[in-house]
Structure 1
Amino acid sequence: MKYAIVTGGSRGIGRAIAETLNEEGYKTIILYNSSQEKAKELEEKGIITIKCDVSNRDSVKGAKKEVEKITDKIHVLVNNAGLWYLMPFERFDEDKYEKMLKVNLNGLIYVTYEFLPLLKNAGGSSIINIASNAGIGTAAEGTTFYAITKAGVIILTRRLAFELGKYGIRVNAVAPGWIETDMTIGGKSQEEIEKLRENFRNKTVLHTTGKPEDIAYIVSFLASEKARYITGQVIVADGGRIDNLTHSV
């Protein structure tokens, strides 16, 4: 039996990843900090759910103890938990920035560090970090501080690949563009959602928007033996953002 952990796994991209890995035969464990009702829905599919605030190291240590009651080996760790606020630089809000930093970057560090012994025990495992195309320079109004945290995720991915390769641990990242989730369209009217969709369609050469499953399938590949020779890489999945494809090199 192979075990997978997905942080922020109760909804959105994390939920799609958890469901996909579960369907592919992994015993999947999600760490979640909200949406308990959605977590219960996953339990009905055989997915194990553990309440955990990844930005709190003590909470992560507690989650590790719960996982150790189940297994001493983790074959796949997906650091998906994330938080974002639209915040133009001129309206800098220290509290919001600190929250994003604690979840998006510190949380990834805490989870990876605490679960590293279990990843080593697997004798060949895979860490996949969910970054963002904002972290590689894709510009969007109000995303500067979010982009800083995701750029950190990308740098950390490459450094961890360098440091953990000696244990047979591969470390890669996926950098999504705009994905339709309850975080990106929740609370908006249908008219607002359609305007958002059209806006992002017009920014891609494929003229389409992304779904959580699009990211889940990439994660599934990176977790598998088919990707055994891939580490330290960032796969951008953004429909072919026109501004990224046409800028001068």
Structure 2
Amino acid sequence: MVVSYNMRFKDKVILITGGTRGIGRAITEAFLREEGLPIVLYNSAENEAKKLREKGVFTIKCDVGNRDEVKKSKEVVEKEFGRVDVIVNNAGIMVLMPFEEFDDEKYNKMIKINLNGAIYTTYEFLPLLKLSKNGAIVNIASNAGIGTAAEGTTFYAITKAGIIILTRRLAFELGKYGIRVNAVAPGWVETDMTLSGKNQEDAEKLRELFRNKTVLKTTGKPEDIANIVLFLSSDEARYITGQVIVADGGRIDNLTHSL
């Protein structure tokens, strides 16, 4: 369930990368419910983008790992909206790869989308964000970027650790413009990506596996992350910057906190 405060984002321009599916979709729809003006950058989910457009969401096809495409998207947004109030760097992929099976192509693809995508988007749209009275950036990291025991996630974790460092560095560098920069580090969340290729029985086994890894004995929903993004983007978080909020149900097998 997304917690709504009705009009916190009325007429605010919200840029969301990877906002057509999973966590990104939940974030997009949450801002829409609060009367924000979501702009979604997407790369391949054309059908989902069409559904969002029917709801009034402005969408731009863009590979965030390609700086030229991000720059062109910025020009479109500048022409149509004139400014950006919030940037949510959500686009990302996870390719499982044991360290001893290192593959350049797979690694570079994750770096390109997960890390470079956030850098390119923030850099190119920063001039528009500076025009906002209360600019905010929320990066979607992962508890893997802090310390995960999950097998095959070493290189994915490296990209998300980069997002965490980027968050903290930008908080220092952009504070002089009144721009707050924070991150959310989700644990396992039920999305089309995490349940990809699973039938109903296998999906339930996976849920049970991750439920048992948390002290709350539950799994995350996209809306859980959307709620945190809304808070960090709002004026209610005006005194918060440079922080990483871990939302993983209290994982007992990770180094994300002291549990």
User: Which interval holds the TM-score relative to the shorter structure?
Assistant: over 0.9
1:123 Cα deviation from its structure 2 partner: 2.4
Per-residue CA deviations over 1:120-159 (Å, capped at 9, x if unaligned) read 0112210000000000012200000000000000000000
Q: 1:33 to 1:173 in 2, by over 3 A?
A: same
Q: 2:150 corresponds to which letter in structure 1? A: A
Q: Paired residues, what number?
A: 249
| SS state at 1:31 partner | strand
Unpaired runs of 5+ in structure 2?
A: 1-10
2:50 maps to 1:40: yes
Instruction: Quote the sequence identity (%).
Output: 72
Q: Is contact 1:123-1:167 (8 Å) kept?
A: no
Secondary structure of 1:184's aligned partner: coil
Secondary structure at the counterpart of residue 40 of structure 2: strand
1:248 to 1:178, Cα distance in 2 relative to 1, 3 A: closer
User: Which residue pairs with 2:3 in the alignment?
Assistant: none
Normalised TM-score (structure 1): 0.97
Return the offset for 1:246.
Answer: 9.8
Deviations 1:187-233 (A, max 9, x none): 21112111110110000011011110000000000010100000000
Tell me which residue corresponds to 1:105: 115
Secondary structure of residue in 2 paired with 1:236: strand
Contact 1:104 1:150 in 2 (8 A): yes
Task: Indicate the SS of the match to 1:242.
Answer: coil
RMSD: 1.4
Measured in 2, the distance between the counterparts of 1:230 and 1:202 equals: 32
3-state SS of the aligned residue for 1:111?
Answer: helix
Q: Which structure carries more helix by proportion?
A: 1
Please name the residue that 1:22 is paired with.
32
Contact residue 65 and residue 117 of structure 2 kept, 8 A: yes
Give the alignment of 1:114-125 within 5 angstroms: 114-125=124-135
Evaluate the alpha carbon distance shift between residue 248 and residue 176 of structure 1 in structure 2; reply closer, same or farther with a 3 A threshold: closer
> Cα deviations across residues 105-129 of structure 1 (Å, max 9, x unaligned)?
0110000000000000112210000
The residue that corresponds to 2:5 in the other structure is: none
Residue 148 of structure 2 aligns with which residue? 138
* TM-score, length-scaled by structure 2: 0.94
State which of 128, 136, 140 in structure 1 corresponds to 2:138. Answer: 128
Alignment of 1:174-189 (within 5 A): 174-189=184-199
Q: Give the whole-Å Cα distance in 1 for the aligned partners of 2:235 and 2:195.
A: 35
